Amino acid sequence: MVFELQHTLADSGARAGVITTAHGSIPTPIFMPVGTVGSVKGVHQRELREDIDAKIILGNTYHLYLRPGTDILFKAGGLHKFMGWERPILTDSGGFQVFSLSAIRKLTDEGAHFRSHIDGSRHLFTPENVVDIQRIIGSDIMMALDECAPGTADYSYARKSLDLTLRWMDRGWRRFNDTEPLYGYSQSWFPIVQGCTFPDLRRESARRVADLGADGNAIGGLAVGEPAEVMYDMIDIVNDVLPTDKPRYLMGVGTPVNILEAIDRGVDMMDCVMPTRNGRNAYLFTPDGTMNMRNRKWADDFSPLWPESPSFTGRAYSKAYLRHLFIADELLALQIASIHNLAFYLWLVRQAREHIAAGDFKSWKSCMVEILSQRL
């Protein structure tokens, strides 16, 4: 993997670049649609390519390990071939999913012991076997196993959690370097900065992560209960330490405003389930603000969802039609809203990139944050 930094700014941490992987190039800043089980919910791969123009998507190690399982994925030749997606894929290590299973998991130095949410069967993720699983998945970018501590954790818990994550990180890095890809193309491995909301822990973690010299670095453990301003402070602290010549991936964030604020602070890559999850709940993002498509006000509004949309979906369907589909509980409503929201998120980061290149990102972002905070 190669990262080329193309544009930086004097008045902002925002930057634009290109990540080149075996499955294609990714212009940054970039938003990555979440395809947890090898599928972006409600969106066909053709639509991801042609209507949304997603440059990279995510899969999840935890979910893919449980279903369809590593045997099937290996026989298929990896996730790219299994799902018919020829562009880059990033896989999370499953650490966040194990975090969310707090009632049915136990963390030890060995790894994360957990029960499947599907059938209750017992499993163990270690820093080593999570690398092995991601080798079988064949993702272009794989993530280290970490513990994602709650945003409200106290200092004692955060300290112990970070120590565990750092020990796991070193073991995962060794395993990555001691193993080879399975399908004839290179893979990259990103360590993850943790440390909750404590500046000293975040700095320590960022230094340890930077010292590894991996192809890129991730920032985890944010947007898990802490206030947005605290999240932004942690991003500033971490990006003051992480190397500028490697891509920075902010995991699981967030709203359109969160994304612009993260870009302003030097983040290159982001993902979140929000565009598709909110879309399935009739909540649309637009360049003029947000819309609840169940509201009566859209019932006889026959204007397009987004007249200037780069997506066919945004231009082709009216607000009245989409509201009708939601009220009638039609599955097409979920699909249209998901495609629309993803197209908007990808449009937003492309606009950010253009304004970084033009040198006026800071003023553009300030205007957009105000607009995007409105409810229509």
180 CB burial (10 A radius; 0-12, 13-18, 19+): exposed
Q: pTM, whole model, 2 decimals?
A: 0.97
pLDDT classification of 288: cutoffs 50, 70, 90: very high
Helix axes 331-358, 361-372, angle to 10 degrees: 150
Position 40 scores a pLDDT of 98
Q: CA torsion sign, 126 to 128 to 131 to 133? A: negative
Position 218 scores a pLDDT of 98
What is the mean predicted confidence (pLDDT) over 26-51?
97
Question: How big is the chain by its Cα radius of gyration, in Å?
Answer: 20
Does residue 104 surpass a pLDDT of 90? Answer: no
User: Cβ(222)–Cβ(206) under 8 Å?
Assistant: no
CB neighbour list of residue 75: distance below 8 Å, 6 or more residues apart: none
Position 338 scores a pLDDT of 98
User: Cβ(249)–Cβ(259) under 8 Å?
Assistant: no
The predicted-structure confidence for 257-286, as pLDDT tens digits, reads as follows 999 999 999 999 999 999 999 999 999 999
What would the 3-class secondary structure string for the chain be? CEEEEEEECCCCCCEEEEEEECCEEEEECEEECECCCCCCCCCCHHHHHHHHCCCCEEEEHHHHHHCCCHHHHHHHCCHHHHHCCCCCEEEECCHHHHHHCHHHEEECCCCEEEECCCCCCEEEECHHHHHHHHHHHCCCEEECCCCCCCCCCCHHHHHHHHHHHHHHHHHHHHHHHHCCCCCCCCCEEECEECCCCCHHHHHHHHHHHHHHCCCCEEECCCCCCCCHHHHHHHHHHHHCCCCCCCCEEECCCCCHHHHHHHHHCCCCEEECCHHHHHHHCCEEEECCEEEECCCHHHCCCCCECCCCCCCHHHHHCEHHHHHHHHHCCCHHHHHHHHHHHHHHHHHHHHHHHHHHHHCCHHHHHHHHHHHHCCEC
Q: What is the C-alpha separation between 138 and 7, in angstroms, rounded?
A: 31
Active-site positions read 92, 271
**Residue 4 corresponds to which tokens in the numbers above?**
């080329």
Q: What is the C-alpha separation between 6 and 96, in angstroms, rounded?
A: 32
pLDDT classification of 106: cutoffs 50, 70, 90: confident
**What share of the chain in percent tops pLDDT 70?**
99
Does residue 3 surpass a pLDDT of 80? Answer: yes
How far apart, in Å, are the Cα atoms of 306 and each of 256, 287, 318, 340? 16, 8, 9, 9
Position 96 scores a pLDDT of 75
Position 102 scores a pLDDT of 67
Quickly tell me which residue has 């280290």 as its tokens: 144
Average model confidence (pLDDT) across the chain: 96
Does residue 351 surpass a pLDDT of 70? Answer: yes
